[in-house]
Amino acid sequence: MRSITSFDLQYAHRFYKFKGEAQYLHGHTGVLTIEVEDSVNEGVNMVFPCNEIKKTAWEVLQNFDHSLILREDDPLLPAILKVYEETGIKDGAPQNTMKGPAFKTELATAYPDARLVVTKETLTVEGMIKIVYDLLKDKLNIAKITFTSGVNAASAEFTTKNNIERCPLCGISLDEHGACPKCGYKK
């Protein structure tokens, strides 16, 4: 069975070296849907609490919300960073509070203080799915991710392989010591 949750993401990007409208810097409202699969936890009668999926995923996804996402070889990147430096926002601003921890993977690097994500490949809906799966595959038993942005949509299904121990009282993942960080249950 699956628990399903969605996220709205506001972001700007462009398709560098693309011939068409998407070569221009533009913004989107994207909807990312994550389906987590597992057996139904008998203690709480659910696969995984959707609010806990949201908390786990949002920690990294908030780096994409209200961010500029550019490919690493895009010539706009140094120009943007120069303007951010000159205006004093490259290393953050007091209003920049909705940000996740920085991350660096093979596919993307997040610079939360600058509200910037730099990607190896052009950020298409398919590219976003690859990045999100890579960031969350060890934290959630992801069975499917769907990303819709404007008129574009893609989805990918994955084989769940994690054996994530969950709390019988509230359904969330136990920590490395077999304890529930939410309710205090100990295995």
Residue 138 near residue 132, CB atoms below 8 Å: no
How far is the C-alpha of 136 from the C-alpha of 48, rounded, in Å? Answer: 15
What are the tokens at 157? 């299904």
Cα–Cα distance between 127 and 14 in angstroms, integer? 13
pLDDT score recorded for residue 43: 74
173: in domain: no
**In this predicted model, what pLDDT tens digit does every residue of 44-57 receive, in sequence order?**
788 888 888 999 99
Report yes or no on 23 lying in a domain: yes
Examine residue 163 and state whether it is found in any structural domain, yes or no.
no
Q: How many structural domains comprise the chain?
A: 1
pLDDT given for residue 73 in this prediction: 97
- Look up the pTM and report it: 0.89
In this prediction, residue 91 carries a pLDDT of 87
Domain extent for 72:
2-157
Residue 86 predicted with pLDDT over 80: yes
Q: Is residue 52 assigned to a domain? A: yes
Is 162 a member of any domain? no
Question: What does the pLDDT look like over 128-180, one tens digit per residue?
Answer: 999 999 999 988 999 999 999 989 999 999 998 777 888 888 888 888 899 99
CATH assignment of the domain containing 98: 3.30.479.10
List, in sequence order, every residue forming a beta bridge with 104; answer none if it has no partner: 109
Asked if residue 98 belongs to a domain, the reply is: yes
